[in-house]
Structure 1
Amino acid sequence: MSILTTNSPKAKEIWFKEDKIYFLLADGRELGVPIEWFPKLRDANPDQLKNWRLIGSGDGVHWEELDEDISIEGLLVTI
Structure 2
Amino acid sequence: MIFSKGLRIESLLIDDNRLFISLNTKQILIDKIENHKRLKTASLGDLNEFRFIANGTGIHWPSLDEDLSLYGLLKDYFIKNFQEQSELVIS
Give the TM-score taking structure 1 as reference length. Answer: 0.86
Partner of 1:15: 13
Structure 1 unaligned runs (5+)?
none
Structure 2 unaligned runs (5+)?
78-91
Count residues in correspondence.
Answer: 75
Q: How does 1:1-79 map to 2 (within 5 A)?
A: 6-79=4-77
Q: Which has the larger radius of gyration?
A: 2
Give the aligned residue type for 1:61: I
Runs of 4+ that moved beyond 4 A: none
2:33 touches 2:40 (CA, 8 Å); kept in 1? yes
CA RMSD of aligned residues (A): 1.3
| Distance in 2 of aligned mates of 1:18 and 1:65 | 18
Deviation at residue 7 of structure 1 after TM alignment: 2.1
Deviation at residue 74 of structure 1 after TM alignment: 1.3
1:8 touches 1:59 (CA, 8 Å); kept in 2? no
- State, as a whole percentage, how many aligned pairs show the same letter: 28
Name the structure where helix makes up a greater proportion of residues. Answer: 2
| Distance in 1 of aligned mates of 2:4 and 2:17 | 32
1:9 touches 1:59 (CA, 8 Å); kept in 2? yes
